[in-house]
Amino acid sequence: MRTLFVAEPPRPWIDLPKLVVDASVLASFVFAEPNRDEAEAQMRGRGLCAPALIDYELANVALNKIRGKAVSIDHAARSLAHFADLDVERWEADPGELVRIGEEYGLSAYDASYLWVAGHLRVPLATFDGRLAAAAVLYLKQLTAS
């Protein structure tokens, strides 16, 4: 009888199941909002993906929180540093596709970019935005039919 040996790559090399996360999920996590635990539970053990605009979206969340006196500039900077430490795979979306998706589902090009990434990768999308979630259900369902 022979012994079976299995050599595994280090954890960071293993492909994790992918999940597209939008700014609402990432902001909840990095700014420790009330639904942070729910966001973290969905992200845990997943390969996080987002459109390339995610950095600008999180910076805008930080500015809005500072201007609304919800956080200090220092707190926002720490939160953004925490975000920078996350391993988020960024994707460049096709602008023409964003216009098509946005028009079909009544979304901004920004929100359409999350659908495009989820569709391109054929993976789930996590969001706290009900309108984006509803569009994602329809968009991803029609992809499986084709």
Residue 96 belongs to domain with CATH number: 3.40.50.1010
Whether residue 8 lies inside any domain: the answer is: no
Conformation bin of residue 69: beta by default, left when phi > 0, alpha when psi is -120 to 50: left
Inter-residue contact 10 to 70 (CB < 8 Å): no
Provide the mean pLDDT of the chain.
93
**Average pLDDT rounded to a whole number, residues 80-96:** 96
Whether residue 32 lies inside any domain: the answer is: yes
**What pLDDT, on the 0 to 100 scale, is given for residue 103?**
98
**What pLDDT, on the 0 to 100 scale, is given for residue 12?**
61
Inter-residue contact 122 to 143 (CB < 8 Å): yes
**What pLDDT, on the 0 to 100 scale, is given for residue 13?**
60
**Average pLDDT rounded to a whole number, residues 99-127:** 97
Whether residue 2 lies inside any domain: the answer is: no
pTM more than 0.85:
yes
Among the ranges given (32-36, 78-82, 140-144), the one the predictor scored with the smallest mean pLDDT: 140-144
**What pLDDT, on the 0 to 100 scale, is given for residue 145?**
60
Whether residue 116 lies inside any domain: the answer is: yes
Whether residue 115 lies inside any domain: the answer is: yes
User: Which element (helix H / strand E) includes 89?
Assistant: strand 88-91
Number of domains composing the chain: 1
**Average pLDDT rounded to a whole number, residues 81-106:** 97
**Average pLDDT rounded to a whole number, residues 30-36:** 96
Whether residue 43 lies inside any domain: the answer is: yes
Whether residue 9 lies inside any domain: the answer is: no
Is the pLDDT at 138 greater than 90, yes or no?
A: yes
The residue range of the domain holding 106 is 17-145
Is the pLDDT at 52 greater than 90, yes or no?
A: yes
CA atoms of 26 and 20, how far apart (whole Å) = 10
Paired sense of beta strands 18-21 and 47-51, if any: parallel
Whether residue 10 lies inside any domain: the answer is: no
